[in-house]
Amino acid sequence: MTQRSLFDDELPPRPAPEAPAVPELPAPTDPPLLPEQKAEVLERLREPALSCTRCELSRTRQHVVFGEGNPAAPLVFVGEGPGENEDATGRPFVGRAGKLLDDVLRENGMTREHVYICNILKCRAAFFEEGRARNRPPRPEEVDACRSWLDQQLAIIRPIVIVCLGAPAANVIIHRNFRMTPERGRWFTHSPYAPWVMAAFHPAYILRLHGPGFDEARASLVRDIAAAREKVIEVRRQLREQGPEAGLAGQPGARRSLFD
């Protein structure tokens, strides 16, 4: 039986030593990799990332949180960085925020197997107070030190759509000084990372709200993720109509079935 794709019409620190050398990656002009090739190259990239010491966060982390999901996904979610639960497990978006993201994905007919999830930072940004680590905003030099890992991840996956979860991710993926209130839910087409990019509320932000504010923000996240899936469907339909010569037609791994 032929399986239908989910995205078819249906359905200032001290200097630290450099990280180990990373594998040679495909150039932007190279043909897109096959799904199994993407998984292999991502795994080769993960290995040196797990021992990265490019910034001071390597001294306080428990785990590098590289990313997870479908390496051939046409839809990628990018957050700011790991929190306490992510640092403890090495997985992105776990704990209460991760459960909310999973719930919203499920309401849109998706699971983590159909998308890829990662962060701008791969290590938790934290300060210590009374012997306990607490989250803090990442410093610019930390974002810069970690950026090449994100660049290479997205160069391998080549998604059609990226959803930035929160303004910090949008500042890197879309443009600096991103303003969430007026710009959330809008499509941006100038990002070097994907042809279609938008920003949505971060699940952790939504969880800090109460009453009608929580309900409205959660509903907006559901709508934005629905719009992202619909955009993938729209783009892929256009590419089929244009034929194999279309610029983005080479997305051989984008057809991840719900039943795989």
CB 125 within 8 A of CB 57: yes
List all residues 6 or more positions away from 169 whose beta carbon is below 8 Å from its beta carbon.
Answer: 78, 79, 80, 119, 120, 199
Give residue-wise pLDDT tens across range 94-128.
999 999 999 999 999 999 999 999 999 999 999 98
pTM for this predicted structure: 0.85
At 254, list the tokens.
């984008």
In a domain, 36, yes or no: no
How many folded domains does the chain comprise?
1
In the chain, count of helices (H) and strands (E)? 8, 7
In a domain, 231, yes or no: yes
Give residue 24's pLDDT band: very low, low, confident or very high (50, 70, 90).
low
In a domain, 237, yes or no: yes
In a domain, 32, yes or no: no
CB 95 within 8 A of CB 86: yes
Give residue-wise pLDDT tens across range 40-83.
999 999 999 999 999 999 999 999 999 999 999 999 999 999 99
In a domain, 78, yes or no: yes
CB 120 within 8 A of CB 107: no
Residue 79 belongs to domain spanning: 65-121+147-242
In a domain, 108, yes or no: yes
In a domain, 254, yes or no: no
* Sign of the Cα pseudo-torsion (100, 106, 110, 114, in order): positive
CATH number of the domain that residue 105 is part of:
3.40.470.10
At 161, list the tokens.
């759509």
* Sign of the Cα pseudo-torsion (168, 174, 175, 181, in order): negative
**How far is the CA of 55 from the CAs of 66, 89, 143, 240, in angstroms?**
15, 21, 9, 44
Give the pLDDT score at 132. 87
In a domain, 201, yes or no: yes
Give residue-wise pLDDT tens across range 136-176.
999 999 999 999 999 999 999 999 999 999 999 999 999 99
